[in-house]
Amino acid sequence: MSGIGGFLRGFRHAARGVGLAARDRNLRVMLAAAALVVVLAFAYEVSSGAWAALLVCIGVVLGAEVVNTAIECLADRVQPEQEPAIRDVKDLAAGAVLVLSVTAAVVGVVVLWPYVVG
- C-alpha angle 17/22/24, rounded to 5°? 110
pLDDT of the chain, 118 residues: tens digit per residue: 568 888 889 989 999 999 999 999 999 999 999 999 999 999 999 999 999 999 999 999 999 999 999 999 999 999 988 899 999 999 999 999 999 999 999 999 999 999 999 8
Q: Say if residues 53 and 115 touch (Cβ distance below 8 Å).
A: no
Give me the domains of the chain, ranges plus CATH numbers.
24-117 (1.10.287.3610)
Closest CA to 93 of 117, 112, 72, 114: 72
Chain centre distance of CA 118: 29
